[in-house]
Structure 1
Amino acid sequence: MAEPHANSYYAASATTFTDQPPLEGDAKVDVCVVGGGMTGCSAALHLAERGYKVMLIEANRIGFGASGRSGGQLIAGYAADMHKVEKYVGPEEAQRMWNMSVEAVDLVRERTRRHAIDCDLVDGHLHVGVKPRHCEELQDLAEEWDRYGYDGVRYLDRDAVRERVDSDAYVCGLLDPKGGHLHPLNYTLGLARACLDAGVVIHEDTPMTGWEAGDPATIITSRGRIRANHVILAGNAYLWEKERRLGTSIMPVGTYIVATEPLGENRATKLIPNNEAVADILFVLNYFRRSADHRMLFGGRVSYSRIEPASVGEAMRKTMLKYFPQLDDVKVDYAWGGYVAITANRLPDFGRLAPNVVYAQGFSGHGVALTSLAGKLMAEAVAGQAERFDLLAKIPHMPFPGGTMFRTPALVLAMAWHRLRDML
């Protein structure tokens, strides 16, 4: 039985989407896409536009995973800095990867316009520092982005940040006017509606229970089998238990967000006057933004143990008040969380499990943009134009220490060190 969406502000304000029936019986298609989040819907849409007969199956509901409940922050680049990327692929290919990350941001805007997706898309993103050492890091980041030809970015001192965020906690910032934020569930539902309009067959409440290699490959579900010339695995944090090879390079971790009660336009505007999305650069980071109906959406508190805090709402509210004590009289209307997938090197994991079976996962917090690009690159690979897909697939991914049994406690110990460093 399919699970509902998380009890979130996004689910409460979601646009209408007609439930799609579960698969009953067998089917034959050109491409089967497994996973109904941003990655899967993007891939299915690109493939349908190329003329392929596409079926998308989703274990629960469209946008059930991180695509429907994330912070909604639209950011160029990757969760790892470009120096690390250069070590893996060299400077020339690193430039291509950077350009693709910018293309990812542009692709979200292009899809939103073309398909008239009502997802509250707003321009502007701001990285902020909470410690003096963060200012040097942000200045280095500004120089790095400039070196890669990403113009328009501006370093901000304490006073300039204070004009954009009504908090005394932040000592510097980096403004990216090309970034932005959106309602992630409504964006995902909009992509799914565009898929239906393009002829994609979608089956919700249809989990993959296994698959068999071959030409065609076979996707196995509890109520039918799908034979497909090509398969795209796009389940991210939710598919690795069905295909264990996907679990070697990713770790599902819990993230949490609260939405306050509506603050009113004047009070909300005072908090973030220019309505940018904001994220600090602590290792265990916090991120926040205004909603279209004038709430504060505040997220963070990553759980690497995957044990949910006893009270998500109270824990996140306490963190929010550390930075915005003026919200002490404000109630939290919604509190939710769920899994996202990270990789050890914080770069996305692209690859093949068979010549006709590809996957992309592990976007490590940059999924709003990179998932749409991943869908496009996997569609290119299916069409025989795999050069760009193969570039990202070249990035090596080490398994998390401890294997599938002990990697979670090992990671918790490592993250404890980073949390301590955040406090210094």
Structure 2
Amino acid sequence: MSYSEEKLDEEKVFKDPVHRYIHVKDRVIWDLIGTKEFQRLRRIRQLGTTFLTFHGAEHSRFNHSLGVYEIVRRIVDNVFIGRPEWKENERLLSLCAALLHDLGHGPFSHSFEKVFHFDHEAFTQAILLGDTEVHQVLKRVDPVFPQKVAEVIAKTYKDKQVVSLISSQIDADRMDYLQRDAYYTGVSYGHFDMERILRVMRPREDQVVIKRSGMHAVEDYIMSRYQMYWQVYFHPVTRSAEVILTKILHRAKQLYQDHYKFQYPPTHFHSIFVEDVTLEDYLKLDESVILFYLQSWQQEEDPILKDLCNRFVNRRLFKYIEYIPNNEQLTKLVELRGLFLEAGIDPDYYLILDSSSDLPYDFYRPGEEGERVPIHLAMPNGKLKELSRESDIVDAISGKRRTDHKLYFPYDFLKDFSTNPSIKKKILSILRYK
């Protein structure tokens, strides 16, 4: 029996709060879970700084990755099995891609990527193809198997049906994180009838489609996603924490480049700050490392780094006001920056405009950047119909991008500022924050 076909003597089961049980029978999957690169995901939170808003949001990328694997396993083993449109020889590839899709995430994923211009998918592919334990396991299946998994992650794999299971507008990734994040944040928005969706999924030549009878379950799923983004993922308090974290990383990098003498030198950041990061350096970073520096840098002499770290560690977050990007508001922002400078408060670190944007569903727009493959319904006559053409609910939000802007600032600085009362009054008057 080849390694790719090898089964465990006894099925392994993970207890899971979302899916109840996660089942592992394939030797390859069990060996991948045991690699140090996959175990690192235990030390990367799924929701970054969201735990400072929703205290239960402490779950990890490890949890989520197992959940995505389990959903794909259920689809290929229970729904697609035996259907002529599904290629059984793609089963193991689909399971491995599902399990490993988030392997390259860094600590506080999106904040980290934003500051250092990293792409977690590029790092995922580097882990799959580099000198890693994960690569060694995959290579035992077949010398080209690591490349195939990397192509699925990059969405370039020839069989688009496999890609759509992991990355599409209705994929296992989204179906897991919506339910998992709802569970751990304690909100109800992310819940939808996944069981129904799985039952009505069907493989087609180059995609996964939904039976027409399952349309209402898909509508519910899309609205759940919409609500989760605006009630959880883009929560203004979470964004305040992200703003502070990104400014900490910017400040530490600036001080490093200015040859500032750190009491606690950022050894783990050296290759990142000089923009010569290796995969080995990257994999040494997790959130325990970042939190060590945030805790330590509260003792630094630099007042900005010290204050920002104190704010993050002790949850002294910035306040915010709504911001509408027009000429009047831009003029006020320029005036505010000048007043902050007069007050001795660096606006680059303490007056931050943050924007969040989401497109809940879109139909196919050929040639456009970030074009999306739409969700198709399999009609009773066998033909396919794009979801928004059949659903009034989905049609109402299709192609409509919603953007929200907030202006963040340290209200406690301004409230306690007494050196020049007139400047304080002007700032608060412009902000209209009382």
What's the TM-score once normalised by structure 2's chain length?
0.23
| Structure with greater proportional helix content | 2
What's the TM-score once normalised by structure 1's chain length?
0.23
